[in-house]
């Protein structure tokens, strides 16, 4: 019988928390894509209502798959993938801020949050916590 695994150390709890937050973002994107797009400062064009599918499919799908996988299987390599996903999200935002002149307050706060969400599972995986 498969049992749900509860984290056993502080580092594992931090990685677990990031997985829960990631699932939360995925659920928000899946069930409320228009609200999510407003929060993210994205706007669909009226002649392309099918663009909402990107929020539900592409964005929510990856958040939900990576987060739920970590919660169900609780394997260090999955936490590594989760941490790297958030790290590359922060790197992409930093690159945009540098090359696209996107240095807004929203982006600075977002990159800080993404860096923390990357550091927690990576810190656990690499034994820093």
pLDDT of amino acid 1: 62
The Cβ of residue 50 has, within 10 Å, a number of other Cβ atoms equal to: 8
The band of 47, judged by pLDDT with boundaries at 50, 70 and 90, is confident
Predicted TM-score (pTM) above 0.75: yes
Residue 45 CB-half CA count within 13 A: 2
Chain-wide mean pLDDT for the chain? 93
Residues 74-103 pLDDT 10s: 999 999 999 999 999 999 999 999 999 888
CA 122 from centroid of its chain's CA atoms: 13
Given a contact cutoff of 8 angstroms between Cβ atoms, the answer to whether 62 and 96 are in contact is no
Could you give the CA distance from residue 124 to residue 40 in angstroms, rounded to a whole number?
Answer: 29
């Amino acid at each position: 019988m498969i049992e749900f695994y509860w984290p056993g150390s502080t580092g594992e709890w931090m990685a677990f928390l990031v997985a829960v937050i990631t699932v939360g973002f995925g659920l928000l994107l899946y069930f409320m894509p228009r609200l999510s797009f407003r929060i993210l400062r994205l706007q669909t064009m009226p002649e392309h209502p099918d663009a909402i599918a990107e929020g539900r499919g592409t964005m929510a799908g990856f958040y939900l798959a990576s987060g739920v996988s970590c919660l169900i299987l609780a394997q260090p390599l999955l936490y590594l993938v989760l941490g790297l996903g958030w790290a590359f999200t922060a790197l992409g935002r930093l690159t945009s801020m540098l090359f696209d002149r996107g240095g807004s307050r929203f982006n600075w706060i977002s990159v800080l949050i993404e860096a923390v969400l990357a550091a927690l599972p990576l810190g656990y995986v690499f034994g820093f916590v």
